[in-house]
């Protein structure tokens, strides 16, 4: 299978925050943002694998900045690492200033998707070949996150988590 670049999966969704999507403080509901991120991540995973994809986990979400009513929100997602059948998707959320048009990073998240066949069985996907410094950084960190997740779930012995061990060795 031929390797793909993160750029081939890059997905950008831009939308407006409407009154029905806000909480009593007139900020975007967290659940609404999670759904938008899931949609963008799903498209990115599908673009990489060209298969049916399912959300396996939401590994990390940081709600760093409230997103007010009327804001223009952009969700950018791209595959940060491909494993055998699973993919880590890194998501950046940007808010556009109403007057200046300047974009500010509001939130970020990391989702994991699995490519499956028509029966729901995991299926092999192409490898990922990062190109930019940021893509390489996210690619390398993805293996550490996966190993940590496997150790915490009891699916990997800590002694076998070589990438995690390397963080603590001199």
Domain boundary assignment for the chain: 6-130
The ranges of the chain with pLDDT < 70 are 170
Looking at residue 97, its pLDDT comes to 85
pLDDT tens per residue, range 157-167: 988 998 888 88
Give the whole-angstrom CA distance, residue 8 versus residue 94: 20
For 119, what's the count of Cα atoms within 13 Å in the CB-facing half-sphere?
A: 2
User: What's the pLDDT score for residue 40?
Assistant: 98
Q: What's residue 168's pLDDT?
A: 80
Distance, C-alpha 45 to centroid of its chain: 9
Q: Which of 132, 125, 133, 89 has its CA nearest to residue 3? A: 125
What predicted TM-score, i.e. pTM, was given to this entire model?
0.92
- Provide the CATH topology of domain 6-130: Thiol Ester Dehydrase; Chain A (3.10.129)
């Amino acid at each position: 299978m031929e390797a793909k670049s993160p750029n081939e999966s890059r997905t950008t969704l831009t939308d407006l925050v409407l009154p029905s999507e806000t909480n009593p403080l007139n900020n975007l509901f967290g659940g609404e943002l999670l759904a938008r991120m899931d949609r963008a991540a799903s498209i990115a995973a599908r673009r990489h694998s060209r298969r049916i994809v399912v959300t396996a986990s939401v590994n990390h979400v940081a709600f760093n900045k409230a997103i007010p009513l009327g804001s223009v929100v952009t969700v950018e997602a791209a595959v940060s690492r491909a494993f055998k059948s699973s993919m880590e998707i890194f998501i950046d959320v940007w808010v556009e200033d109403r007057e200046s048009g300047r974009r500010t990073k509001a939130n970020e998240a990391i989702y994991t998707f699995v490519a499956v066949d028509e029966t729901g069985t995991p299926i092999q996907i192409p490898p990922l070949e990062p190109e930019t410094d940021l893509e390489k950084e996210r690619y390398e960190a993805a293996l550490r996150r996966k190993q940590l997740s496997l150790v915490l779930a009891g699916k990997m012995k800590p002694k076998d988590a070589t990438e995690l061990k390397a963080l603590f060795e001199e």
